[in-house]
Amino acid sequence: MIESALTVDSTKFGTARIVSRRDFAEGLWVMRIATDFDLGYRPGQYCTLALPIGDRLIERPYSICSSPEEGEIELFIERVPEGELTVPLHRLEVGAEMPVRRRCKGLFLKEAPVEGQAHIFVATVTGIAPFVSCIRTLLRRLDRGEWSPAGRVVLLHGASVSSEFGYLDEMGALTEKFDWFEYVPTISRPWLDPEWPGERGRVEDVVRKYADRLELRPGSASAFICGNPQMIDNVKGALRRGGFEAAAVHEEQYWPE
């Protein structure tokens, strides 16, 4: 645990230990943590990490990438320039410990998968986290014969350059394996990544193209959007103009606009 004179309320916080981390782009990493208590959650929920800094405990929410059926908690985090929590958090190595709130929260994806519907999931960079948790959980349920897809599940993922796609291999392999699943990573700065063979453009600029191409129609498809608030507004606007009802479009903003 980081050295601090601060007393952490043990009724509200338990301890998380970093068990592994994977760094793949400047300031972007996936880490797995183990808690010393049972952190129950649903796909789409977030946990709250904390670090004692000076005489304050700084807390921030992080969507969980792992399935609740996995033992450890997996998180995909971006270091924000001068960010109060992410700058010191990024320095922590495997074995480091930190306080974590005992309760996970959040209603995003509570309704997913929506019965009888196709799904369009849209994310920017770390906004893919809740969708990874949902998809990993659906695959386990599919294996056990507890769930079968009613339509396509399309995951549209935007980033500046391809090195920011922390789940490219995992989601790419699922696209190869299942005809009902399609992962579409798209980059907004192709001039910085000229070898990238995939889609180019911001997610908001290509969402209608993929909705049409993959036959995700208003009424038979539900949309879930997560990450950058500006992107969420733009994607919502594009889907609404395409005929999607407000009730069929769900969102999780990572920070206020």
Ligand X SMILES: Cc1cc2nc3c(=O)[nH]c(=O)nc-3n(C[C@H](O)[C@H](O)[C@H](O)COP(=O)(O)OP(=O)(O)OC[C@H]3O[C@@H](n4cnc5c(N)ncnc54)[C@H](O)[C@@H]3O)c2cc1C
E strand or H helix that includes residue 7: none
Cβ nearer to ligand X, comparing 128 with 216: 128
**According to the binding rule CB under 6 A, does residue 83 interact with ligand X?**
yes
- Residue 47 CA, chain-centre distance (Å), reads 12
Binding ligand X (rule: CB under 6 A), the pick from 30, 33, 51, 77 is 77
Cβ nearer to ligand X, comparing 153 with 159: 159
Cβ nearer to ligand X, comparing 73 with 154: 73
| Smallest separation, CB 213 to ligand X (Å) | 29
Restricted to residues 139-178, the positions that interact with ligand X (CB under 6 A) are: none
From CA 194, how far away is CA 135, in angstroms rounded?
A: 30
- What are φ and ψ of residue 253, in 5° steps? -90, 135
- What is the longest distance spanned by two Cα atoms in the chain? 57
CB contact at 8 A, 198 and 186: yes
**According to the binding rule CB under 6 A, does residue 86 interact with ligand X?**
yes
Contact region for ligand X (CB under 6 A) — 57-65, 147-155, 172-180, 192-200?
Answer: 57-65
From CA 254, how far away is CA 108, in angstroms rounded?
A: 12
**According to the binding rule CB under 6 A, does residue 63 interact with ligand X?**
yes
| Smallest separation, CB 176 to ligand X (Å) | 26
**According to the binding rule CB under 6 A, does residue 74 interact with ligand X?**
no
CB contact at 8 A, 211 and 221: yes
Number of residues engaging ligand X in binding (CB under 6 A) = 19
Q: Residue 85's closest CA among 45, 54, 44, 41?
A: 54
Give the interface with ligand X as residue ranges (CB under 6 A): 46, 60-63, 76-78, 80, 83-86, 106, 126, 129, 252, 254-255
